[in-house]
Amino acid sequence: MTEIIRETVRTEDEVASTPVNAGEVSGTQTTARLIYFLLGILEVLLAFRLIFKLAGASPGSFFVNAIYSLTGIFIMPFRGIFRQAVTTGVETTAILEPATVVAIIVYAVLAWGIVALVRIISGERKEAI
């Protein structure tokens, strides 16, 4: 019985252009994911701050105070752009802090811009994430 043997030979150019592993993540992708992760955490903390201020959460609570303390420095550049709206209720005082809303928008755009810059510098052409 005759056996057919097929053999594929690759040149060096073909090997160099062939991706090593389709599931492999490049350094640029890792950097982009890290940036989005870190700024995503900041966005969540800012969202908590906005909700707590609107709900009139007590700053005497450890968790609320920790959120206010952590996010205070990130809100600072945006204070004074708009005036705060304060509504006093029976038990709580609700505060609409526009600086927090502006910070959420600015940091989201900043994250996108940093990732775009990293991709431009690295020479990556397509969106990997």
Q: Which residue is listed with tokens 């389709």? A: 22
| The dihedral formed by the CA atoms of 57, 55, 85 and 106, expressed in degrees to the nearest 10 | 90
Strands (E), 39-84: none
**Model pLDDT for residues 58-115, shown as the tens digit of each residue:** 888 999 999 999 999 999 999 988 888 888 877 788 888 999 999 999 999 999 999 9
Q: Rounded to whole angstroms, what are the CA distances from 97 to 34, 70, 78, 87, 90? A: 28, 16, 10, 12, 20
Give the domain ranges of the chain. 26-122
* 72 vs 55: CA distance, rounded Å: 18
Could you report the per-residue pLDDT of 17-46, keeping only the tens digit for each?
445 455 676 888 888 999 999 999 999 999
What single DSSP character describes residue 26? P
- pTM here is 0.72
Q: Determine the 3-state secondary structure of 96 from DSSP.
A: strand
CA distance 116 to 56: 38
